[in-house]
Structure 1
Amino acid sequence: MNVLQNKLNRRRFLQASGAAGAAGVAGLNAIPGISTLEASPGTRARATSDTVVTKSVCQQCSTRCGLDVYTTNGRVHAIYGNPDAPLSNGKLCPKGHLGPYILYDADRFKGPMKRTNPKKGRNEDPGFVPISWDEALDTVAARLTALRERNESHRFVVAYGRGWGPADAGLFGTWGRLYGSSSIGIGHSSICADGSKKVKRAMDGNDSYNSYDYENCNCLLIFGAGFLESFRPYNANMQMWGRMRSKGTRITMVDVRNSVTAAAADRKLIVSPGTDGAIALAIAHVILTEGLWDRPFVGDFTRSRLRFETGKPIDPDTFSENWVKDLPAWWNTTLKDATPAWAEGITGVPAEKIVATAKEFGSTRPAIAVFERGPTAHTNGAYNGMAIHALNALVGSMFAKGGLSYQMGSSAGSLPINPDDYMDDYAREMEGKYPRIDMARTDAWPMTSNMIQDIAKNHLTGSPYKMDTIMFYTVGPIYSGPDCTVWEEALQDVFVIDTSPSPQESAQFADLILPDHTYLERLEVANTYPFQGYPMSMIREPAVKPLYDTMQFGNIMIELGKRMPGPMADYYQQVGSVENVVAAFAAGFENDPGDNGVNDLASFKEKGVWYKTPYLWRQIDGEFYEWDGHRYSIRMSEDDVKAKLLKTPSGKFEFQPAWFTNEKHAAHIQKHLGIPRDMIGFPHYVEPQYQGGGDLHLISPKLPLSAEGRSANLPHTHAVWQPTQGGTDTVYMEIHPQAAAARGIKDRDRVRISSSVGAIECFASVSGGVPKDTVVLPLAHGHWGSGRWAQNKGVSGSVNEVIPNVVEPVSGLVAFSAAKVFVEKV
Structure 2
Amino acid sequence: MKLTRRIFVQLVGSAAFIASSPLLKAQGLSVKRLPLPCSPSQGKWIGTTCQGCTQYCAIEIFNQNGRATRVRGNQNSKGNHGFCCPRGHLIPQENYDPDRIKQPLKRTNPQKGRGVDPKWVPISWDEALDIVADKMIELRNSGEPERLLYLKGRYGNTSHGLLYGTLTKVYGSPNNFSTSALCAETEKMGPGYTQGLFSYRDYDLGNTKCVVFWGTDPFSSNRQVPNVISKLGVLQKNGTLITVDPRLSTAAAKSKEWLPILPGTDGALANAIAHVLLTEGLWHKEFVGDFENGKNLFVSGKTVDPALFKENNTLGLVTYWNEEAKDWTPERAAKECRLDAEQIKRVARTLGKAAPNVIVWMGPGVCMNPRGTYTAMVVHALNGILGSVDNVGGTHDPAKSLKGSYPSADKYVDELAKSHGKGKKVDGRGDKEMPAAMKAKLGSGVVTNNIANYMLSHPDFVKIMISSWTNTPFAAADGKRWEKALANVPFFVHMVPFPSEMTQFADIVLPSTFNAAEGMGTVTGFGSMHAWTSIQQPTCNRIWDVKQEENEVTWLLAEKLVQKGWPALLNYYANEFADPETGAKPTNEKEFQLITTKIASAPCWKQGAKAIPGDQINGWEDFRQKGMHNSAPQAYKKHWGGKFPTPSGKFEFVSGALRKVLEDHSAKYNSTPDQILEACHYTARGIKGWMPHYEEPLRHGDAAQFPFLFIDHKSRLNREGRSANLPWMQEFKKCDAGDRSWGDVLKINPADAKTLGLKDNDLVEITSPAGTIVTEIKVWEGVGPGTVAKAYGQGHWAYGQVAAKEYGKVPRGGNNNEILIDDYDRLSGTSCRNGGFTRVSIKKVSKII
Q: TM-score of the superposition, structure 2-length normalised?
A: 0.86
Q: Does 1:435 align with 2:424?
A: yes
Aligned to 2:636: 618
The answer as to whether partners of 2:315 and 2:654 remain within 8 angstroms in 1 is yes
Provide the rounded CA distance (Å) in 1 between the counterparts of 2:485 and 2:399: 40
The answer as to whether partners of 1:762 and 1:794 remain within 8 angstroms in 2 is no
Shift of the alpha carbon at 1:304? 2.3
**Residues 720 and 264 of structure 1, relative CA distance in 2, 3 Å threshold:** same
Alpha-carbon displacement from aligned partner over 1:315-359 (angstroms, at most 9, x marks no partner): 111111111111111111111111111111211111111111111
SS of the residue 2:202 aligns to: strand
The answer as to whether partners of 2:795 and 2:812 remain within 8 angstroms in 1 is yes
**Residues 162 and 80 of structure 1, relative CA distance in 2, 3 Å threshold:** same
Pairing 1:31-430 to 2, within 5 Å after superposition: 47-48=40-41, 51-167=43-159, 171-184=163-176, 186-247=177-238, 249-365=239-355, 366-415=357-406, 417-430=407-420
Alpha-carbon displacement from aligned partner over 1:651-694 (angstroms, at most 9, x marks no partner): 11111112221213545333221421232112111111111441
Provide the rounded CA distance (Å) in 2 between the counterparts of 1:742 and 1:736: 10
Q: Equivalent of 1:445, from 418, 423, 434?
A: 434
The answer as to whether partners of 1:563 and 1:569 remain within 8 angstroms in 2 is no
Shift of the alpha carbon at 1:522? 3.3
Aligned to 1:11: none
Larger radius of gyration: 2
Q: Equivalent of 1:759, from 762, 772, 790?
A: 772
Q: Does 1:715 align with 2:727?
A: yes
Deviates more, 1:525-534 or 1:142-151: 525-534
The one-letter code of the counterpart of 1:227 is P
Provide the rounded CA distance (Å) in 1 between the counterparts of 2:362 and 2:223: 11
Shift of the alpha carbon at 1:168? 6.2
Provide the rounded CA distance (Å) in 2 between the counterparts of 1:256 and 1:77: 39
The answer as to whether partners of 1:218 and 1:402 remain within 8 angstroms in 2 is yes
Pairing 1:506-521 to 2, within 5 Å after superposition: 506-521=502-517
Q: Equivalent of 1:559, from 556, 561, 568?
A: 556
Q: Equivalent of 1:586, from 601, 604, 617?
A: 601
The answer as to whether partners of 1:85 and 1:608 remain within 8 angstroms in 2 is no
Alpha-carbon displacement from aligned partner over 1:444-490 (angstroms, at most 9, x marks no partner): 52215211111111101129x72112222222111111011111111
Q: Does 1:537 align with 2:537?
A: no
SS of the residue 2:511 aligns to: coil
Alpha-carbon displacement from aligned partner over 1:256-277 (angstroms, at most 9, x marks no partner): 1122211221001111110011
The number of residues matched between the two structures is 755
Provide the rounded CA distance (Å) in 2 between the counterparts of 1:493 and 1:177: 24
The answer as to whether partners of 1:459 and 1:467 remain within 8 angstroms in 2 is yes
The answer as to whether partners of 1:562 and 1:572 remain within 8 angstroms in 2 is no
Aligned to 2:474: 479
Aligned to 2:441: none
The answer as to whether partners of 2:428 and 2:447 remain within 8 angstroms in 1 is yes
The answer as to whether partners of 1:731 and 1:781 remain within 8 angstroms in 2 is yes
**Residues 794 and 581 of structure 1, relative CA distance in 2, 3 Å threshold:** closer
The one-letter code of the counterpart of 1:467 is V
The answer as to whether partners of 1:562 and 1:570 remain within 8 angstroms in 2 is no
SS of the residue 2:526 aligns to: coil
**Residues 158 and 431 of structure 1, relative CA distance in 2, 3 Å threshold:** closer
The one-letter code of the counterpart of 2:794 is H
**Residues 117 and 299 of structure 1, relative CA distance in 2, 3 Å threshold:** same
Aligned to 1:15: none
Provide the rounded CA distance (Å) in 2 between the counterparts of 1:569 and 1:367: 52
Shift of the alpha carbon at 1:59? 2.1
SS of the residue 1:678 aligns to: helix
SS of the residue 1:529 aligns to: strand
Provide the rounded CA distance (Å) in 1 between the counterparts of 2:539 and 2:744: 33
SS of the residue 2:111 aligns to: coil
Provide the rounded CA distance (Å) in 1 between the counterparts of 2:732 and 2:403: 39
Q: Equivalent of 1:742, from 755, 760, 774?
A: 755
The answer as to whether partners of 2:390 and 2:396 remain within 8 angstroms in 1 is yes
Provide the rounded CA distance (Å) in 2 between the counterparts of 1:781 and 1:169: 34
Provide the rounded CA distance (Å) in 2 between the counterparts of 1:807 and 1:716: 35
Alpha-carbon displacement from aligned partner over 1:28-87 (angstroms, at most 9, x marks no partner): xxxxxxxxxxxxxxxxx97555x2321111122222222221112222222222211222
Provide the rounded CA distance (Å) in 1 between the counterparts of 2:398 and 2:170: 30
SS of the residue 1:782 aligns to: coil
The one-letter code of the counterpart of 2:203 is Y
Aligned to 1:36: none
SS of the residue 1:273 aligns to: coil
Provide the rounded CA distance (Å) in 2 between the counterparts of 1:327 and 1:461: 45
The one-letter code of the counterpart of 1:137 is L
Q: TM-score of the superposition, structure 1-length normalised?
A: 0.88
Q: Equivalent of 2:484, from 480, 489, 493?
A: 489
The one-letter code of the counterpart of 1:669 is L
Alpha-carbon displacement from aligned partner over 1:501-528 (angstroms, at most 9, x marks no partner): 1111011111110010012443434343
Shift of the alpha carbon at 1:538? 0.4
SS of the residue 1:530 aligns to: strand
Shift of the alpha carbon at 1:169? 7.0
Consecutive unaligned residues of structure 1, counting only runs of 5 or more, are 1-44, 626-635
Q: Does 1:689 align with 2:698?
A: yes
Q: CA-atom RMSD, angstroms?
A: 2.0
The one-letter code of the counterpart of 1:330 is Y
The answer as to whether partners of 1:257 and 1:770 remain within 8 angstroms in 2 is yes
Shift of the alpha carbon at 1:385? 1.1
**Residues 722 and 458 of structure 1, relative CA distance in 2, 3 Å threshold:** farther
**Residues 517 and 794 of structure 1, relative CA distance in 2, 3 Å threshold:** closer
**Residues 797 and 769 of structure 1, relative CA distance in 2, 3 Å threshold:** closer
Shift of the alpha carbon at 1:608? 0.5
Provide the rounded CA distance (Å) in 2 between the counterparts of 1:304 and 1:456: 57
Shift of the alpha carbon at 1:703? 1.1
Aligned to 2:830: 813
Aligned to 2:711: 699
Percent identity of the aligned residues?
31
SS of the residue 2:824 aligns to: coil
The answer as to whether partners of 1:692 and 1:757 remain within 8 angstroms in 2 is no
The answer as to whether partners of 2:52 and 2:88 remain within 8 angstroms in 1 is yes
Provide the rounded CA distance (Å) in 2 between the counterparts of 1:583 and 1:380: 43
SS of the residue 1:722 aligns to: helix
Shift of the alpha carbon at 1:442? 4.9
Aligned to 2:843: 824
The answer as to whether partners of 2:522 and 2:597 remain within 8 angstroms in 1 is no
The answer as to whether partners of 1:521 and 1:543 remain within 8 angstroms in 2 is yes
Deviates more, 1:717-726 or 1:549-558: 717-726
Shift of the alpha carbon at 1:578? 2.2
Aligned to 1:786: 799
Aligned to 1:16: none
Aligned to 2:689: 680
Provide the rounded CA distance (Å) in 2 between the counterparts of 1:814 and 1:520: 28
Shift of the alpha carbon at 1:734? 0.4
**Residues 600 and 443 of structure 1, relative CA distance in 2, 3 Å threshold:** farther
Consecutive unaligned residues of structure 2, counting only runs of 5 or more, are 1-37, 439-444, 578-585, 587-591, 666-672
Provide the rounded CA distance (Å) in 2 between the counterparts of 1:692 and 1:101: 41
Shift of the alpha carbon at 1:595? 4.1
Shift of the alpha carbon at 1:731? 1.9
SS of the residue 1:108 aligns to: coil
